[in-house]
Structure 1
Amino acid sequence: MTDHEATGLLEAADAVAKLAGERAAEAEAARRLPEDVVAAILDAGFARHFVPRRHGGHEAAFTELRRALATVGESCASASWCALIVATSGRMAAYLPAEGQAEVWREGPDAAISAALVPSGTAEETPGGWRLSGEWHFLSGVDFSDWALLCAPAPDGPRFFAVPRGDYRIRNTWFTLGMRGTGSNTVVADGVLVPRHRAVAQGAVFRGHSEHSAAPCHQTPLAAVAGALFAAPALGSATAMLRAWTAQLTAKGPGLTPPAELELARSSAELDAALLLTERATAIADLGRVAPATAARNARDASLAAQLVRAAAARLFESGGSQVQRDDSDLQRHWRDVQSATSHAALRFERTSGPYAQSLGAG
């Protein structure tokens, strides 16, 4: 398989989307994905998408993943988000030392990993490793995780620590407006001993230049691709909103009113523009070793795409009338999910605009 050969993920995503859509209400009520949806995500190959081939993974393309995430997002943004997390957390684990990678994937390449990007807690250096303690918030899909990648301050800079499921506790803290099914709960570690081979510097992960793999997906800085992937579930969700909104209006009779035509044209154009921006970002990221200025532009584009998606979703929801505000309305669920998904730090334009300007020497 070449670096950009399809893995079958897109075809498998259709089946995941169908099941996740059928179980979306259950996921919302439970605030976590049903077990059969989790199994479908893993069976489809999301977790192994970026896993090194020597561990049975695909080392595959960002573009293929983004398209698969958007497909699942059209049915359930929470399922799409959890698929995103297991895929990208697997990519991060690929920067661990070789012995650590072997531990994480000793049972195969479909280990479910949930990562916390923001440093928290404490890491006390001990002979042979670190002793890790603290709390880490908003780990999506952590209830079905086999491993957690927890970031903590260390004397030489923040590090990611790979911790097996038996060494951490989960606190049920995920009560939110949208993305309820992601189960983004809190992880607690109490003096967990992490050997040196299960830790990697945060900077190495962010720079994206692996010592273990020459695959483009392991030679790409995080800033070049994170935003485009995080935008995919919301883009899928807003696309479903547009389709449902249009069907709802056309069911009332032939043709649309001039105001509705305007809303349709503007919303569809915004979603098309968001798609084009994220498509360019992942196409560039698939080349590997993206220059810092290009990585900053990709991050800028993804955050602008998120703004466009959010604007389209808000317009469709506000013009949908009273019936879209019902608890059983898919439009209402998708709107809430878009609001929550696009609030992620990687998709905030005020955070990406500065690095972009600085990359041009204008900051």
Structure 2
Amino acid sequence: MVNEVLLSVRELLPMIAERADKVDESRRVSEQVIRELGDAGMFAMLQPKRYGGAECNPVHFYETVRAISGVCGSTGWLASVLGVHPWHLALFDDRAQRDVWGHDNSVLLSSAYAPVGRLTPVDGGYRLSGDWHFSSGCEHASWALLGAMVVGTEGKPVDFLTVLVPRSDYRIHDVWDVVGMRGTASNEITVDDCFVPDYRTKRNFETAQLRGAGQKVNRGPLYRLPFATIFTTAVTAPGVGVVAGCYERFLTVMRERVRLSLGGGRFVEDQFAQVSVARASSEIDAAILQMDRNVRELWELAVAGEELPMALRLRVRRDQVRATERALDAIDLLFKTAGASSLSRGNAIERAWRDAHAGSVHVANEPERALALFGRGAFGLPVEDNLV
């Protein structure tokens, strides 16, 4: 099947590439770029057809994310995280979906899933308060998905929920001034004692068990896939795309380079540079091929209405974190091989190196936890974790 959104997005890539420096300097992706990506269908790829979305094969979504990230890491990150939230909203009660998309199905959502919020049960729902860091693209969004703990009568956490909150109920603090992915504007969100109706909440345990109110109305295969596949891959895909794009620019630039030291000569004739290119390209290919294979296998099982085996779900997480590690190995190799020219502030290799490393520190890219879970499964030990 042709990825129609990717065809449309490719027409935008020269413009996005031209603005990459400004995005990095200003710490913002422009409203125009977000609007044009929306017009191209980027943010509706994983949205239910019932609300104007494409409900497409997620492999196409990640492919499109990588293409955007290849010319601007920050824009690709926002395309991915803002684009994945419609999928998560589709798992909520249909009343929550109507609240968001009932009048405008192009509305965007941001997130901050760390369970730092405090939920106190009241009639019909909860009172919510908290401060959340790192809500990427929150200034482009009208709603936020926030992680919170339900506090029992003894003041201790008794459940972990994701809650849906409208823009009118939270404040945004502009604090995002960092070394990489600078244009994602991953700012802080504060909620001071707002009411959240029960239907705008989702138990994380139920999400991990692939069940909930949303699947009763959104019956397509896309919504039978694990959060730990769809969201974590959305966090990894931008970094892999950044490095893949940098690799192509590296080849273009270095073909014309002449060494001024180490005996001179054309850079492309250096055997060590040739070996570095081979290693870097292999790491990039391995990352992409494994991620796409795994997501495609899950998709095909969901389309067929078959059970998603735990061994495959664990493999998805294994290869997802390894994809980030492979991308970092590749960008580090390219950065080092390019020599001192990599150090110039604002050049494509330097920015890609910063963006890839910045994206890698997201908790979804933490390798040890995911790899240990795979190891437990491989040894036949029980695996109980919401991020599988």
- Kindly provide the amino acid, as one letter, of the partner of residue 309 in structure 2: A
Q: 2: CA distance between counterparts of 1:206 and 1:188?
A: 27
Partner of 1:168: 170
The answer to whether structure 1 residue 247 and structure 2 residue 252 are counterparts is: yes
Note the alpha carbon deviations across 1:174-202, whole angstroms, 9 max, x for none: 12111011111111001111112211112
Please say if residues 225 and 299 of structure 1, whose CA atoms lie closer than 8 Å, have aligned partners that are also in contact: no
SS of 2:165's partner is: strand
Partner of 2:279: 266
Partner of 2:262: none
Q: 2: CA distance between counterparts of 1:65 and 1:182?
A: 19
Give me the CA root mean square deviation: 1.7
Please say if residues 171 and 190 of structure 2, whose CA atoms lie closer than 8 Å, have aligned partners that are also in contact: yes
Q: 2: CA distance between counterparts of 1:229 and 1:159?
A: 21
- Kindly provide the amino acid, as one letter, of the partner of residue 28 in structure 2: R
TM-score (norm 2): 0.88
The answer to whether structure 1 residue 309 and structure 2 residue 305 are counterparts is: no
Q: 2: CA distance between counterparts of 1:322 and 1:361?
A: 46
- Point out 4+ residue stretches in structure 1 off by more than 4 angstroms: none
Query: 1:290 Cα deviation (Å)?
Result: 2.3
Please say if residues 7 and 58 of structure 1, whose CA atoms lie closer than 8 Å, have aligned partners that are also in contact: no
Q: 2: CA distance between counterparts of 1:198 and 1:228?
A: 25
Q: 1: CA distance between counterparts of 2:123 and 2:169?
A: 19
- Kindly provide the amino acid, as one letter, of the partner of residue 244 in structure 1: R
Note the alpha carbon deviations across 1:279-331, whole angstroms, 9 max, x for none: 11221232325222211111101111111110010011112122221122011
Q: 2: CA distance between counterparts of 1:35 and 1:296?
A: 38
Q: 2: CA distance between counterparts of 1:316 and 1:81?
A: 21
Query: 1:7 Cα deviation (Å)?
Result: 5.9
Q: 2: CA distance between counterparts of 1:361 and 1:212?
A: 38
Partner of 2:230: 225
The partner residue of 1:143 within 127, 134, 139 is: 139
Q: 2: CA distance between counterparts of 1:340 and 1:82?
A: 14
Count of matched residue positions in the alignment of Structure 1 and Structure 2: 359
Query: 1:249 Cα deviation (Å)?
Result: 2.0
- Kindly provide the amino acid, as one letter, of the partner of residue 144 in structure 1: H
Please say if residues 117 and 146 of structure 2, whose CA atoms lie closer than 8 Å, have aligned partners that are also in contact: no
SS of 2:47's partner is: coil
Q: 2: CA distance between counterparts of 1:187 and 1:292?
A: 35
Residue range with higher mean Cα deviation, 176-185 or 349-358: 349-358
Partner of 1:19: 15
Query: 1:212 Cα deviation (Å)?
Result: 2.5
TM-score (norm 1): 0.94
- Kindly provide the amino acid, as one letter, of the partner of residue 94 in structure 1: A
Residue range with higher mean Cα deviation, 280-289 or 94-103: 280-289
Query: 1:225 Cα deviation (Å)?
Result: 3.5
Partner of 1:85: 81
- Kindly provide the amino acid, as one letter, of the partner of residue 223 in structure 1: A
- Kindly provide the amino acid, as one letter, of the partner of residue 85 in structure 2: S
Partner of 1:336: 354
SS of 1:78's partner is: helix
Partner of 1:191: 193
Residue range with higher mean Cα deviation, 181-190 or 289-298: 289-298
Q: Which structure would you say has the larger Rg?
A: 2
Identity %: 27
- Kindly provide the amino acid, as one letter, of the partner of residue 346 in structure 1: A
Residue range with higher mean Cα deviation, 196-205 or 328-337: 196-205
Query: 1:362 Cα deviation (Å)?
Result: 4.6
Partner of 1:10: 6
The answer to whether structure 1 residue 211 and structure 2 residue 207 are counterparts is: no
- Kindly provide the amino acid, as one letter, of the partner of residue 209 in structure 2: R
